[in-house]
Amino acid sequence: MIRNAAIALPGSEYSATNHPQCKALSHAGKMYYIFQVGCFQESSSLAEEAQVWMSIIKSFFFMVLPGALLIAFAWPATQPSVETNKAVCTLCFYGPDNVVFDAKGNAYITDSDHKSRFRVLKVSPEGRQIDEWRVFPAVSGRESGPEGIAIAPDGNIWVTDGGRLRILKLSPAGKLLMSIGKKAPLFHDLGHVAIDSSGYIYVSEGGQNRIQKFSPAGKRVAVWQRPKGSGPEEWNRPETITARSDGSLIVEDWGNRRIVILSVSGQTQFAFGGPGQGLGHFENSSGLCVDHEGNIYVPDLKLHRVQKFGPAGKLLSTVSNSGEDALFSEGPSGIAVDAQGNLYAPDGLSIVRFSAEGKLLGRWR
């Protein structure tokens, strides 16, 4: 049940005046309904729509009386932007890409149209915007904005800045704490970032077939670069990377359509996958993540599916659009997992939230 909230909805969309706790009023020739959202169940479409409008209407005057309803007077507001499927947006993404979670369950999302609109969104576990950080300038001739993002053991956030070719360290409040690559050029093209349990930072550069490793203080301590190819000691555009609890690194070898596991010293331990549409293979992998048990999830943008592999690379299960309800319309173009084991996948201008078994849990728009 939603409590302690009031909302006004345009009267043209709902006929709710028969509800004993709803009142109608008009202003400037427009009808609004005033009601206590707490008298509706969260599962009802009316309550869900109320949550949407709560985040949109900008001018509220609340008067709270003990033991009484909350009363809201709402002036006409600008109609929110909509997607092609006509669903009203609350987060109104430009192009969500990568997602990570902090210890409180808040999500940090890189969101960019790769032209002029760039930000990191901080979103509550319920899908409500907490903050946004716009610290990424557009740089002519270069794909700008954030892409890779990771959270360090101390709770700070590391994110790539493609325009300035830097790695930024931000506090949970969005304050810039450090920048790697500002004093001297260290990167040619930035991809993704990962943080291990000791706070070491790993940065992939797909076009260079290279991964660089930095200390928590930002000092470069290792460079792993491979020839371009499909051999055991070759790469073809390493993209998404993530660290496991044992210090090993999981690498999406995107051009070879495979996943490579590196040791702490950067040596290849094993690889799995390969090009193809069959189970255990990838047509167009689009990221990876690892859960607390070490299982690896790999989305496939072209095949609209997510495959789950065990820590040793054994295929365990597949979630796809073959079920009763399609999860993905354009994606999944990435993947993330929260502390409860639920998965989040960017899908066009939305993020799909679903269980590891493939049950749809919701969509952030």
Tens digit of pLDDT for each residue in 41-70?
333 344 444 444 444 443 333 333 334 333
Least reliable range by pLDDT among 68-77, 97-106, 230-239, 251-260: 68-77
- Residue % of the chain over a pLDDT of 70: 75
Q: Give the residue carrying structure tokens 């043209």.
A: 12
**Cβ-based burial of 85 (10 A; exposed 0-12, middle 13-18, buried ≥19):** exposed
Let me know the angle formed at the C-alpha of 133 by 129 and 135, rounded to the nearest 5 degrees. Answer: 165
List Cβ neighbours of 148 (8 Å cut-off, separation of 6 or more): 98, 110, 159, 160, 190, 191, 192, 193, 194, 203, 204, 240
Which run of H or E residues covers position 332? none
State the chain's mean pLDDT as an integer. 82
**Sign (positive or negative) of CA dihedral 95, 97, 98, 99:** positive
Mean pLDDT throughout 1-8? 35
pTM of the model: 0.77
Residue 323 confidence (pLDDT): 61
Residue 300 confidence (pLDDT): 98
User: In degrees to the nearest 10, what's the CA dihedral of 219, 261, 242, 208?
Assistant: 60
Taking only the tens place, the pLDDT of each residue in 180-218 is 999 888 999 899 999 999 999 999 999 999 999 999 999
How would you list the strands of the sheet with 96-101, edge to edge? 96-101, 107-112, 118-123, 129-133
Residue 87 confidence (pLDDT): 60
Given a cut of 70, whether residue 85 has pLDDT beyond it is no
Residue 141 confidence (pLDDT): 82
Given a cut of 50, whether residue 8 has pLDDT beyond it is no
In this prediction, residue 9 has a pLDDT band, given cuts at 50, 70 and 90, of very low
In this prediction, residue 142 has a pLDDT band, given cuts at 50, 70 and 90, of confident
- Residue % of the chain over a pLDDT of 90: 70
How would you list the strands of the sheet with 6-10, edge to edge? 6-10, 30-36, 22-27
Amino acid at the residue 153: P
Given a cut of 90, whether residue 79 has pLDDT beyond it is no
In this prediction, residue 15 has a pLDDT band, given cuts at 50, 70 and 90, of very low
C-alpha to C-alpha distance for 239 and 143, rounded to whole angstroms: 15
Structure-model confidence comparison of residues 111 and 115, the more confident one: 111
